[in-house]
Structure 1
């Protein structure tokens, strides 16, 4: 299978080439030349088995194809359980049982396993650039830590991630460099894209991306939706609907791709925080990226979601059809706080701010008469947001062992302005 740019001004690439490059030469995002046809799928014994079957059409004919099963086993070595919520028919898909307690571990570990194989005999190290609004950077750092021939530069908005997230981002050292940028996530993302499109810099220091603009991050994220939906269908005979908290749109797009491939997902609803670019578009306004605003659900503080370009490609640029396909709703900080406190008080549930955003949207859907089986994607462990969650529930949140280990390490991040020259210097100095 070949992969093309959403902007149609770059030559087709193989999967390995697309994963290694991150961004297409014309600045677009890589997408399959054609999506594989929908097919009848069955759940594997575990998520790794489901993933290998689901991803096979994308890998056919590529040099990584013989390695696919091994890559999946390396990447998906932790559970993603679908658990019932208090309301009958409601579930939560827990995606936070990986080494950095966030769903980003899935895609980051898959990408690292893929690039480690692609760069096995490379003479020059590859620098992975990643902009993060909280969780992506730590997942990428953990996945690539001490991987030979690979280094990582993480950019995050200074003061706009939780204290524990910031500690994770700076606690690795070795081949991981953390930069705290005096700006927003959108500034960080723009700097990464500028570097990836800098041909002169690429000649001196080969670069790739580990944001959800990378196919190596996006494609494997289909796997947990597929495994949950297929297992639920096999167990109950029912299809799942999903509410997905989203910022840069990668997580939601993975579910949308999975559905197109034949996974039994019905409705997919996009939940956002007070950054309303997506809800406004889906309500009929033009797509108008703008500066992000800081919220309690900081990983969704995105004002220019990169994967919107892929979503438009999937619908052939037909915005009317796109709007008809995906409801989207915005939840402000006051409602996030209320949901966290009330769900704990009434049901003993403890949710991170992002998961609480999706729970609120699901509650509203139920109040409007929605039926069927629904699941919320729980994207991070609440212990990563203790300064928000603990005052609302009145107790400490137990820290998962893997997260506790990271928090026990010393951490350091270099301050930089939101200027490209500063990033370029940091890359070349590394």
Structure 2
């Protein structure tokens, strides 16, 4: 076996863990997020120029799984999880600009990549007969459905989804509550940050963990973050092989997991140029990159609801990657796009270019539209299918949106969700009262 890569907490804990333990735990014992002791370095020549997304993922992730029980199974895990396309296609209105479509998985959002990979790992780490495990998920819209779809009816695992009541789209809410069986949806009277705080509090409660073994499938879980790097590597390498220039990305950004995946691919030595964070009216990141001290704050609701985050968890990992503020601010750009601009971008592109975007993708498109035409090549990251946001788009556009088959299948069953007050101890009590998977 190769020498294993070890992982430590962003908060400096002495405990070093292997990747299988990191995936199983989700959160480090001190409440920090797991990071590798060092990011591996790779070269474009290491990859198959004609390989699939799964092939790219195997080469990219192999160093992270070296010397581990999952290493031999990694090719099978990647083929099992990444069996749908993530096309990079030209945009109609701007020469040299592309769109990376990440919504062709089962739940019609980019979260399918990480959730399916994580579920495939758990199937091998926790075989039938293992102690039942509860996977806690805080979602601002898309994560919960992807995790539910990936783990639905998986033996020995139950999924508990917390989402902010009234702050996700109707179709998102239906997706979260439509599964039943081993999937439970809790609609929390609060914000996504409340949901995230409650999940972290439960994961950090040793007494609760002894009674109800817990893990996470949010982007605080490294097992979900690592596979998200694969689509950045795959699209950037494809562009590199054809053009011999780096591809730059504009990433809709909330909890920072998707953007961090792009950053890490670039830090590993692959040909990614600039990275621009497209945020909504939640200004935590934008203010920081403008030079203010990092200052988390309560989230405010916007049309791009999956990005309604005022305290992005993955900022800890971003700071681990670039410990000095000046270095971090030099590596990334960030822009805020308010609801008025989101609406204008959606309507203008639908009318003038016959292009439909979800509100989150529209934030990135608005950023692209403000960049000089000679500042290329850029890829806008499309994080979710527009049909998930019919309550926003259809009144603006004046016509019904075509629903992809996988999403249509999720909208057929009846959906239910239990109400829950946004208090840490109430979630812990709920979990203790439902110990069986």
TM over 0.5: yes
- Aligned twin of 1:101: 108
Distance 1:23 1:45, change over 3 A: same
SS in 1 for 2:77: helix
* Cα contact 1:152–1:176 (8 A) shared by 2: yes
Are 2:92 and 1:92 equivalent residues in the alignment?
Answer: no
Query: For the residues of structure 1 that align with 2:76 and 2:10, how far apart are their CA atoms?
Result: 30
- Aligned twin of 1:364: 370
Are 2:398 and 1:391 equivalent residues in the alignment?
Answer: no
* Cα contact 2:282–2:310 (8 A) shared by 1: yes
Deviations 1:145-192 (A, max 9, x none): 001111100000000000000000000000001000000000000000
Distance 1:122 1:285, change over 3 A: farther
Give unpaired runs (5+ residues) of structure 1.
none
Choose which of 293, 300, 303 in structure 1 pairs with 2:300: 293
- Aligned twin of 1:257: 264
Choose which of 325, 340, 352 in structure 2 pairs with 1:346: 352
**Runs of 4+ deviating beyond 4 Å:** none
Query: For the residues of structure 1 that align with 2:129 and 2:67, how far apart are their CA atoms?
Result: 22
* Cα contact 2:161–2:185 (8 A) shared by 1: yes
Query: For the residues of structure 2 that align with 1:284 and 1:144, how far apart are their CA atoms?
Result: 41
* Cα contact 2:197–2:424 (8 A) shared by 1: no
Query: For the residues of structure 2 that align with 1:180 and 1:72, how far apart are their CA atoms?
Result: 32
Query: For the residues of structure 1 that align with 2:367 and 2:287, how far apart are their CA atoms?
Result: 16
Choose which of 45, 66, 74 in structure 2 pairs with 1:68: 74
- Aligned twin of 1:245: 252
Deviations 1:189-244 (A, max 9, x none): 00000000000000011100000000110000000011111111112333211000
How far off its partner does 1:372 sit? 2.0
How far off its partner does 1:299 sit? 0.3
SS in 2 for 1:248: coil
Choose which of 313, 338, 354 in structure 2 pairs with 1:306: 313
Are 2:65 and 1:59 equivalent residues in the alignment?
Answer: yes
Choose which of 144, 153, 158 in structure 1 pairs with 2:165: 158
Query: For the residues of structure 2 that align with 1:364 and 1:70, how far apart are their CA atoms?
Result: 42
Are 2:56 and 1:50 equivalent residues in the alignment?
Answer: yes
How do 1:25-36 and structure 2 match up within 5 A? 25-36=29-40
SS in 2 for 1:365: coil
SS in 2 for 1:177: strand
Choose which of 353, 373, 377 in structure 2 pairs with 1:373: 377
* Cα contact 1:44–1:50 (8 A) shared by 2: no
Distance 1:10 1:162, change over 3 A: farther
Query: For the residues of structure 1 that align with 2:50 and 2:327, how far apart are their CA atoms?
Result: 33
How far off its partner does 1:121 sit? 5.1
SS in 1 for 2:73: helix
How do 1:265-276 and structure 2 match up within 5 A? 265-276=272-283
Choose which of 111, 120, 125 in structure 2 pairs with 1:118: 125
Query: For the residues of structure 2 that align with 1:363 and 1:215, how far apart are their CA atoms?
Result: 33
- Structure 1 vs Structure 2 CA RMSD: 1.0
Are 2:7 and 1:3 equivalent residues in the alignment?
Answer: yes
Query: For the residues of structure 1 that align with 2:31 and 2:151, how far apart are their CA atoms?
Result: 25
Query: For the residues of structure 2 that align with 1:149 and 1:39, how far apart are their CA atoms?
Result: 40
TM-score after normalising by structure 1 = 0.98
Query: For the residues of structure 2 that align with 1:357 and 1:76, how far apart are their CA atoms?
Result: 26
Deviations 1:364-418 (A, max 9, x none): 122xx65221101000000000111112222111000000000001100000000
How far off its partner does 1:22 sit? 0.1
TM-score after normalising by structure 2 = 0.96
SS in 2 for 1:83: strand
Deviations 1:298-325 (A, max 9, x none): 000000000000000001x201110111
- Aligned twin of 1:407: 411
Q: Which has the larger displacement, 67-76 or 257-266?
A: 257-266
SS in 2 for 1:146: coil
SS in 2 for 1:96: coil
Query: For the residues of structure 1 that align with 2:275 and 2:424, how far apart are their CA atoms?
Result: 37
How do 1:276-291 and structure 2 match up within 5 A? 276-291=283-298
Are 2:298 and 1:327 equivalent residues in the alignment?
Answer: no
The count of corresponding residues between Structure 1 and Structure 2 is: 427
* Cα contact 1:128–1:150 (8 A) shared by 2: yes
Query: For the residues of structure 1 that align with 2:100 and 2:395, how far apart are their CA atoms?
Result: 25
Distance 1:248 1:370, change over 3 A: farther
Distance 1:131 1:391, change over 3 A: same
Give unpaired runs (5+ residues) of structure 2.
none
SS in 2 for 1:409: coil
